[in-house]
Amino acid sequence: MADNIVRLEDWVEHLQQEGRNSFSLSQARDAFKTISERALSLSLARYSGKNKIVSILRGFYLIIPPKYAAMKVLPPVNFIDNLMKSLNRPYYVGLLSAAALQGASHQQPQEFFVFTTMPAMRAINKNGIKVNFLSLVHFPPDDILEKIKTEAGYMKISPAPLTALDLIYFESRIGGLSRAATVLSELVENMKPAHFTSKILKTAKTATIQRLGYIFENILNRQDLADVLFRFSEQAELHFGKVKLDPSCESEGSESNNKWKLIINTSIEID
């Protein structure tokens, strides 16, 4: 910090000049070691009241530039990387949020979906933006994730094949299998069989591969993508158990699909 900066407002402006759009409470404490905790808290509260900064999570503040003054918050793509780094958490943006960035342009989500590790994180709901955190017990290797450029630097997102697998596994979080299939119908336009590497497929549950393979083959008419999943299941010696296509629906009287070992207990419709 510049030695002549004595006010919080000047420090925040200095951060902006350096291209930063956020800061943590611990960073503010380090910058103003000579003032009391109470005085710093009052300064932060006063400056927040002017809508120049906003706390979206305890101990983490966004700096609001003029272009986002009306929103009183930043779009999640502009702060999620800094937030997760400050929490020392691995993450990737996924589900509908990743799909929208990968070609599913008609499926703009109302919520921002972020995957991280345990313990679970509470959702952020601030000034009209909502960030949902989904906690994974087994987090995928960092080298399969993609980085895309944002106004604030870079952001990690799931590659399209992992997005597809997540859409199926977490279908209940996005509105059901028909919604997932609708998103996939746009996403597959830019998908190639080579994109589905063993490293990515090894992150998926067997039942997810069964359901996605069935949808590729029977709903989206992408036999080439279905074949990749089926060949992987054979090479990895996966055991296809008899599972329901829709885990939340009853299965009595439903037909079965012999290849994917699915009980077809729902009708999937593309919007």
Residue 182 lies in a domain: yes
State whether 183 and 242 are in the same domain.
yes
The pLDDT value given to residue 2: 46
What pLDDT was estimated at residue 5?
64
Q: State how far the Cα of 256 lies from the Cα of 260, in Å rounded to an integer.
A: 9
* H-type alpha helices, the chain: 8-17, 25-31, 37-49, 80-86, 95-101, 160-169, 177-187, 198-201, 206-218, 223-235
Report yes or no on 191 lying in a domain: yes
108 and 210 part of one domain: yes
Say what the pLDDT of residue 107 is: 64
Q: Are residues 121 and 151 in the same domain?
A: yes
Query: Last residue of some domain: 21, 38, 68?
Result: 68
Residue 271 lies in a domain: no
pLDDT of residue 35: 86
Residuewise pLDDT in 10s, the chain (271 residues): 445 567 899 999 999 999 999 999 999 999 888 888 999 999 999 999 999 999 999 999 999 999 999 999 999 999 999 999 999 999 999 999 999 999 887 767 789 999 999 999 999 999 999 999 999 999 999 999 999 999 889 999 999 999 999 999 999 999 999 999 999 999 999 999 999 999 999 999 999 999 999 999 999 999 999 999 999 999 999 999 999 999 998 888 788 899 999 999 999 999 8
CB 132 within 8 A of CB 114: yes
CA atoms within 13 A on the CB side of 243: 17
Rounded CA separation 164/203 (Å): 12
* 3-class DSSP string for 86-135: HCCCCCEECHHHHHHHCCCCCCCCCCEEEEEECCCCCCEEECCEEEEEEE
The range of the structural domain enclosing residue 20 comes to 8-68
- pLDDT reported for residue 14: 92
Residue 45 CB: number of other CB atoms within 10 A? 10
Q: Is 219 exposed, middle or buried (0-12, 13-18, 19+ CB in 10 A)?
A: middle
Q: Is residue 269 part of a domain?
A: no
Query: Domain ends where: 28, 52, 68?
Result: 68
Determine the Cα–Cα distance for residues 158 and 72; give it in Å rounded to an integer. 28
| pLDDT for the residue 4 | 56
Q: How many structural domains is the chain composed of?
A: 2
* Cβ neighbours around 166 below 10 Å, total: 28
Are 51 and 95 found together in one domain? no
- Residues 54, 155 within the same domain: no
Q: Are residues 142 and 201 located together in one domain of the fold? A: yes
- Backbone φ and ψ for 160, nearest 5 degrees, come out as -55, -40
Task: State how far Cα 248 lies from the chain centre.
Answer: 23
Q: How far apart are the C-alpha atoms of 231 and 252, rounded to whole Å?
A: 30
> 83 and 62, same structural domain?
no
